[in-house]
Amino acid sequence: MDQGLVSLAPLAVLLPILGAALAFVLVRRPRAQIAVTVTTITITLMLECLLLAATWDTGAVAVFLGGWEAPWGITMVVDRFSALMLVISSAVVLAVLVYASAQGVTDQDQGGPVSIFHPTFLILVAGVSNAFLAGDLFNLYVGFEMLLTASYVLLTLGGTGPRVRAGVTYVVVSVISSVVFLAAIAMIYGATGTVNMADLAGKLAQLDPDVQMVLHVMLLVGFGIKAAVFPLSFWLPDSYPTAPAPVTAVFAGLLTKVGVYAIVRTETLLFPGDRVNAVLLWIALLTMIVGILGALAQNDIKRVLSFTLVSHIGYMIFGLGMSNVLGLGATIFYVVHHITVQTSLFLVTGLIEQRAGTANVDRLGGLARISPLIAILFFLPAMNLAGIPPFSGFLGKVGLVQAGVGADSMMAWALVVGSVVTSLLTLLVMVRVWTRAFWRRVEDVEHPPAKLVLAMDSHEAALASSTATREARDGRGRTVRGPTVGLVAPTIGLVALGLSFTVLAGPLYAFADRSATDMLARTPYIEAVLGEEAAAQAALDVGQLEDRGIVTPQEEENSGPGTFQPIEGADSEGEDAGTRPGGEVPGDPGGAPPSQDEDTSPGTEGGTP
Amino acid sequence: MSVNIVLLLVMGVMYAGGVYLLLERTLTRVLLGILLMTNATNMLILIMSGAPGEAPLVEDGLDPGAYTDPLPQALTLTAIVISFAITAFMLGMIYRSWKLGRRDEVLVDTEDVKVAEQPSFDAEDDAELLEETSEFLDEDEDPNADYEHATAINPSTGPLPVKPQRDGTVRVRPTVGRRRVQEMEEGERPVGSSGHDDHLPDEDERAGSPRSRPPRSTEHQQDNRQDTRDGDGRAPRGRRRKGDG
């Protein structure tokens, strides 16, 4: 039954492509186009929820396309991590799509989405799904190229000056990362004769360690550009902010996370162990600090958010660099949290732009009075991003800090300090945006945009005499119209989704830990694709690697955070859960005492602001 | 695995040329660089397929090792199609960039320049407010001119203080204040005055490239200097006469 259900996994890629074709045919009928696109994504989301339910207990399942067995044919693998990523990405995409459709219907301006938007958007979704499902490196490359090519079009939508300028940077950088990745694939094929990831997991281990290192670093550089980790992140704040709000939102939520996903796969499946962990931890620290310092210098909310996006990628690399269940589980939780929160922040920025005419904090003010709803919608994810206690951002960071403290090495402590400092600076950045854009009076603003002043006037007119409200609205209804339901509803949905991770933290964390255990053990994945023999061989390889790690002094030097104890100690059921120091994830996902505490808090939190 | 040395050399040269062209500022050259690099990568895949052999069509009684490996060819084909699509898109973008800015070059990010221009991150708090000690100040000696400028980060209130250097880099003048007021009064058009979001790049923004003409503002200033100082106007002519004689 489950096996039969999982064999529908390729539909997660095919459905969006079919939907894109249909939407392209309907290019002259915007409403039909929207209906087709939303329906497609909804069906895909439902399918992916079923996939997640199917893999919740069983773990990794492989689908062989066209019936070709594993090392030869194209394989798609659904394991816990990829199923979770699929569901969360589709949920976010659905919200953004509804938002974008509403914006296109209400605004009809030259900067808004045009008829090409919906088909391209679906291709992007197909690429993301393909990357998450890919069971071989080349299919991963194809998935990347699908989503990148679609993203080129979306980024330069409308072809205005700033967008073309940003697009040039983005395209060139993306192409370079793809070239590096493709060259790495070519070399890996030359060295091992296969591109199947499960097969590679066994065959790469037999190569010369130096060759392994070259291939490893090439893959990491290729994925690092896409994930925007520090030395390779320069392109992101340059290119993202110019695009329309929904496009930026979905880029910020998904595209970098696909890079992170690929890095996680590289680190766990292809090159297990702590070979480059020292470097990864440094990169994580620098990404966090440099990113957030960049955010401090910005005035435009979109650019601020782009820099916080870069900064918070560092958290994910931090957890990954620990290469133990605690760290990797926290990374998975953090990725899920961050996709939702970052996307909702960008959507709210779109609301601000629509209401006030600009997203520059120097020209904004008084929005809390004009539109309390937007103020709350911005405040909740902003605090969530900064990691204020009841929110999921806090829980993710606690998990990472626990992993760092547990590792108990110099570098891990440096990262613990760095992540706390970054969290504080994120709070500072967010509060600065909040106080300027929402809290201060409009009269204090130097050059308020006309739209903001008009909105303020009509708001005060409405307050002055409640009888005159309707007249004021009638008189100026077209210029100062508030956010429409189509824009607000998906934003509320995403913010609520971000908040729900607090309530669901117990089961979600347990699930993340189980998928982390799976990935670090590698055997479930390999067994699903190649069968038990290969899995046993892979387990043996890891043991040999550990021998080598102990023997080589250089490896020992690097081996601070990463130990293989949790891998061998725990099998794919949530046995490891007890190892989490704070007892944050109890063994049974149902009744979690800490999450029950938090059950009450978000309710009050949602009401008070 | 045997490797064809000629193919290897060609691939190396293509990579080198591609990287060299990518470092140029002209978009067309960047595109050519990308083309070279993607094709070099395709060649790398082909090289990795090993020695050539029989066409990979199944024949009876032929040793499996005698066939050419068909998989790299399939990979190359996919990669070629992808790079073809990207090339087409890049060409479209270059053409659009040319139509918009009349420049086939990577443009300077105006937002970056604006951020670099900021005296500090919170201009309102940090700007000094001097007390007026005299009632009889000239217009250009207003002690609070600095304040006005420090707080005016909005692009429509002042020109971008970008100065192109001879070596092709862009220098952003660190100080803001009275000098900028004077430049404004001389009638220079402020950059970004055509709108906040979608303004076309002005002369000053495009000046950051090595091939650009000298910005109009410097010519303008030189003219001014020549107008104000009578003696200087003759000096170069005198030198020219010396050279002729």
Beta bridge partners of A62: A77
Element (H or E) spanning A542, and its range? helix A532-551
Closest alpha carbon to A504 in A492, A515, A493, A496: A496
Q: Which candidate in B24, B86, B102 is best for mutational testing of the A interface (most A CBs within 10 A)? A: B86
Q: Is A599 among the domain residues? A: no
A63 falls in which pLDDT band (50, 70, 90)? confident
Q: What φ, ψ does residue B165 adopt, rounded to 5°?
A: -95, 170
Q: Is A460 among the domain residues? A: no
CA separation (Å) from A133 to A62, A261, B149? 9, 11, 54
Give tens-digit pLDDT for B12-32: 999 999 999 999 888 889 999
Chain A: closest CA distance from residue B171 (Å):
19
Helix runs in chain B, H state only: 5-22, 27-48, 70-101, 110-117, 123-126, 145-151, 178-185, 203-206, 216-228, 230-244
What torsion do the CA atoms of B55, B57, B58, B59 make, to the nearest 10 degrees?
-60
The DSSP symbol for B107 reads P
B114 to chain A, any CB pair closer than 8 A? The answer is yes
Chain A: closest CA distance from residue B136 (Å):
27
| The pLDDT of residue A242 is above 90 | no
| The pLDDT of residue A294 is above 80 | yes
B143, amino acid identity = P
Are the CB atoms for A518 and A572 separated by under 8 Å?
Answer: yes
Identify all chain A residues contacting B82, using CB atoms and an 8 Å cutoff: 142, 145, 149, 178
How many percent of chain A have pLDDT more than 90?
30
Helix runs in A297-436, H state only: 301-322, 325-356, 367-370, 372-386, 392-407, 410-434
Q: What pLDDT score was predicted for residue B122?
A: 55
| The pLDDT of residue A454 is above 60 | yes
Unique residue bearing structure tokens 């991590």: A81
Q: What pLDDT score was predicted for residue A547?
A: 58
CA atoms within 13 A on the CB side of B239: 4
Give tens-digit pLDDT for A394-404: 999 998 998 88
Put simply, the answer to whether B201 touches A303 (Cβ < 8 Å) is no
Q: Which candidate in A172, A200, A235, A303 is best for mutational testing of the B interface (most B CBs within 10 A)? A: A172
Q: What pLDDT score was predicted for residue A257?
A: 93
Q: What pLDDT score was predicted for residue B36?
A: 94
Give tens-digit pLDDT for B217-230: 444 444 444 444 44
Closest alpha carbon to A541 in A202, A39, A175: A202
- Can you list the domains of chain B with their CATH numbers? 5-53+68-101 (1.10.287), 110-213 (no CATH)
| DSSP-derived 3-state class of residue A466 | coil
Of B45, B82, B152, the CB nearest to A145: B82
Mean per-residue pLDDT for A10-22? 92
Closest-CA residue of chain A to B32: A172
Instruction: Evaluate the CA torsion angle B145, B149, B150, B152 in order and state its sign.
Output: positive
Chain B: closest CA distance from residue A430 (Å):
14
Identify all chain B residues contacting A183, using CB atoms and an 8 Å cutoff: 41, 44
Task: Flag the least confident range among A116-120, A512-516, B140-144.
Answer: B140-144
| DSSP-derived 3-state class of residue B170 | strand
Unique residue bearing structure tokens 């069983």: A58
Q: What pLDDT score was predicted for residue B103?
A: 74
The DSSP symbol for B172 reads E
Chain-centre distance for alpha carbon B201: 12
Closest alpha carbon to B117 in B191, B167, B57: B191
Rounded to whole angstroms, the Cα distance separating A307 from A606 reads 27
Of A156, A162, A298, the CB nearest to B115: A298
What's the structural domain count of chain A? 1
Mean per-residue pLDDT for A336-347? 93
Q: Is A512 among the domain residues? A: yes
Helix runs in B102-229, H state only: 110-117, 123-126, 145-151, 178-185, 203-206, 216-228
CA angle A139, A141, A146 (to 5 degrees): 95
Q: What φ, ψ does residue A278 adopt, rounded to 5°?
A: -60, -45
Window 200-219 of A, Cβ < 8 Å to B: none
Residues 6+ apart with CB under 8 A from A428: A296
Give tens-digit pLDDT for A542-556: 666 665 553 332 333
| DSSP-derived 3-state class of residue A443 | helix
Closest-CA residue of chain A to B111: A238
Q: What pLDDT score was predicted for residue B119?
A: 61
Identify all chain A residues contacting B24, using CB atoms and an 8 Å cutoff: none
Window 140-169 of B, Cβ < 8 Å to A: 151-154, 156-157
Window 20-59 of B, Cβ < 8 Å to A: 22, 27, 30, 34, 37-38, 41, 44-45, 47-50
Q: Is A537 among the domain residues? A: no
Q: Which pair of structure tokens corresponds to residue B26?
A: 């002209």
Q: Is A172 among the domain residues? A: yes
Identify all chain A residues contacting B49, using CB atoms and an 8 Å cutoff: 189-190
Closest-CA residue of chain A to B46: A186
Q: Is A7 among the domain residues? A: yes
CA separation (Å) from B231 to A316, A344, A392, B237, B243? 68, 66, 74, 11, 19
How buried is residue B186: exposed, middle or buried, by Cβ count under 10 Å (0-12/13-18/19+)?
Answer: exposed
Closest-CA residue of chain A to B45: A186
Window 176-215 of B, Cβ < 8 Å to A: 196-201
Closest alpha carbon to A332 in A574, A512, A585, A514: A512
Q: What pLDDT score was predicted for residue B153?
A: 47
Put simply, the answer to whether A168 touches B47 (Cβ < 8 Å) is no
Put simply, the answer to whether A161 touches B200 (Cβ < 8 Å) is yes
Put simply, the answer to whether B109 touches A238 (Cβ < 8 Å) is yes
Q: Residues for chain A: how many in total?
A: 609
How buried is residue A18: exposed, middle or buried, by Cβ count under 10 Å (0-12/13-18/19+)?
Answer: middle
Closest-CA residue of chain A to B82: A145
Of residues B157 and A388, the one with the higher pLDDT is A388
A603 falls in which pLDDT band (50, 70, 90)? very low
| The pLDDT of residue A1 is above 50 | no
Rounded to whole angstroms, the Cα distance separating A203 from A269 reads 12
Give tens-digit pLDDT for A403-453: 888 887 888 899 999 999 999 999 999 998 888 888 887 777 777 777 777
| The pLDDT of residue B128 is above 70 | no
Identify all chain B residues contacting A138, using CB atoms and an 8 Å cutoff: 75, 78
Name the average pLDDT for chain A. Answer: 80
How buried is residue A158: exposed, middle or buried, by Cβ count under 10 Å (0-12/13-18/19+)?
Answer: middle
How buried is residue A282: exposed, middle or buried, by Cβ count under 10 Å (0-12/13-18/19+)?
Answer: middle
Q: Which candidate in B96, B105, B194 is best for mutational testing of the A interface (most A CBs within 10 A)? A: B96
| The pLDDT of residue A578 is above 50 | no
Task: Region of A158 please: left (phi>0), alpha (psi -120 to 50) or beta.
Answer: left
Q: Is A591 among the domain residues? A: no
Q: Which candidate in B80, B106, B124, B196 is best for mutational testing of the A interface (most A CBs within 10 A)? A: B196
Closest alpha carbon to A435 in A364, A505, A495, A500: A364
Give tens-digit pLDDT for B201-215: 444 444 444 444 444
Of B78, B86, B118, the CB nearest to A142: B78
B67, amino acid identity = Y
The DSSP symbol for A369 reads H
Q: What pLDDT score was predicted for residue A544?
A: 67
B1 to chain A, any CB pair closer than 8 A? The answer is yes
Unique residue bearing structure tokens 């070629």: B80
Q: Is A101 among the domain residues? A: yes
Closest alpha carbon to A222 in A210, A237, A232: A232
Identify all chain A residues contacting B197, using CB atoms and an 8 Å cutoff: 111, 160, 162
B86 falls in which pLDDT band (50, 70, 90)? very high
ipTM attached to this prediction: 0.79
Q: Which candidate in B24, B34, B93 is best for mutational testing of the A interface (most A CBs within 10 A)? A: B93
How buried is residue A539: exposed, middle or buried, by Cβ count under 10 Å (0-12/13-18/19+)?
Answer: middle
A172 to chain B, any CB pair closer than 8 A? The answer is yes
Rounded to whole angstroms, the Cα distance separating A219 from A239 reads 23
Closest alpha carbon to A53 in A93, A86, A75, A76: A86
CA angle B223, B226, B231 (to 5 degrees): 170
How buried is residue B227: exposed, middle or buried, by Cβ count under 10 Å (0-12/13-18/19+)?
Answer: exposed
Put simply, the answer to whether B78 touches A183 (Cβ < 8 Å) is no
Which residue range forms the structural domain that includes residue A206?
2-444+484-520
DSSP code string of A232-292 = G-THHHHHGGGS-HHHHHHIIIIIHHHHHHHHHHIIIIIS-SSSSHHHHHHHHHHHHHHHH
Element (H or E) spanning A182, and its range? helix A161-192
B68 falls in which pLDDT band (50, 70, 90)? confident
Rounded to whole angstroms, the Cα distance separating A121 from A139 reads 20
A128 falls in which pLDDT band (50, 70, 90)? very high
Put simply, the answer to whether B196 touches A303 (Cβ < 8 Å) is no
Cβ burial B26-47 (10 Å sphere, 16+ → b, else e): bbebbbbbbbbbbbbbbbbbbb
Of A186, A241, A300, the CB nearest to B44: A186
Q: How many CB atoms lie within 10 A of CB A170?
A: 24
Closest-CA residue of chain B to A297: B121
